[in-house]
Amino acid sequence: MQLTTFFNPFSRGWQFRELIYGMAKREILSRYRGSWLGVLWTLVTPVLLLLVYMFVFGLIFKARWPQSNGVDEGFASLLFCGIIVYLMFSEMLTRSPRLVVDNANYVKKVVFPLEIMSWVALVNSLFHFLIACGVLLVFLLLSGKGLAVTLLLLPFLMLQFILFLAGLSWFLGALGVYVRDVTYVSGFLATAMTFLSPVFYPASAVPEKFRFLMDINPLTYYIESFRKLLVLGEIPNPISALIALIVSCVMFYFGYWFFHKVRKGFADVL
């Protein structure tokens, strides 16, 4: 792989950064247009969700997370952390197959960089994810737990996650043009991943004979790692982190390659 080819996905994104920012901003604003609170819903929604989790699981079910290092962790914060990671993944999984199909008017514009549609969707999801992360960090401060020094590693984990989601989005976006059923399959997988991923439980709680389901699920690493960095103050396993980085890079470049490989036929299909 030539050096220019290696950096091409990044250089193309940087080249059209203003267009990506403008389209993402318009999309975020249009989502809340007409509502009384407007963009403030991006802050209100995660706050309300966190309060609901605290009430239902903390006061009603009196649920407790399995102990970590002999310390009983707050169930609400660990659950909320898993859910916001899942929601970002789920949004990209369900939305990506229709990114090109829903923007068919751009396909026949030769000069329009179609691959930025995935960046726009990713920026949109990342915006809501970061707002939810901010709510979680404020909650940890107010609850007296404080912030762990492991937060310094958060940008590296986010970069891994972004690379994986971008590659997945390019692949599904291109495949969705030719195989419309991908939209329905992605919707089913998003629902199934709610229970097949450690969103409502730690991966360690899964019986040994079913542990392979956790191991082959890429979302397991990210949910568990975000929990460790944000809530538990632990460092993810270096071997797992290296494997996840390799998988993310492979997904990123494969998705980009596949998108451009089949792009020439978009106009004929749409």
Q: Record the tokens describing residue 229, joined without a space.
A: 């960095």
Q: Are 220 and 194 within 8 A, CB to CB?
A: no
Q: Are 248 and 163 within 8 A, CB to CB?
A: yes
Write down the residue that tokens 């229970």 correspond to.
195
Mean pLDDT across the chain? 87
- Residue 270 resides in a domain: no
- Residue 242 resides in a domain: yes
Question: What range does the domain containing 214 cover?
Answer: 3-264
Element (H, E) at 212: helix 211-215
Number of domains in the chain: 1
Q: Record the tokens describing residue 28, joined without a space.
A: 């975020």
Query: Nearest-CA neighbor of 136 among 28, 227, 37?
Result: 227
* pTM flag (> 0.85): yes
Write down the residue that tokens 């916001």 correspond to.
84
User: Does residue 161 carry a pLDDT above 90?
Assistant: yes
Please state which of the ranges 34-48, 69-83, 106-120, 191-205 shows the lowest mean pLDDT: 69-83
CB neighbour burial string for 194-213, b if at least 16 within 10 angstroms, e if fewer: eebbbbbebbeebeeeeeee
- Residue 201 resides in a domain: yes
Q: What is the rounded CA–CA span in Å between residue 73 and residue 3?
A: 46
Taking only the tens place, the pLDDT of each residue in 113-159 is 999 999 999 999 999 999 999 989 998 898 877 888 999 999 999 99
For 127, counting Cβ atoms within 10 Å of its Cβ (0-12 exposed, 13-18 middle, 19+ buried), the class is: middle
- Residue 269 resides in a domain: no
Taking only the tens place, the pLDDT of each residue in 221-240 is 999 999 999 998 899 999 99
User: Does residue 209 carry a pLDDT above 50?
Assistant: yes
Query: Nearest-CA neighbor of 145 among 74, 68, 223, 60?
Result: 74
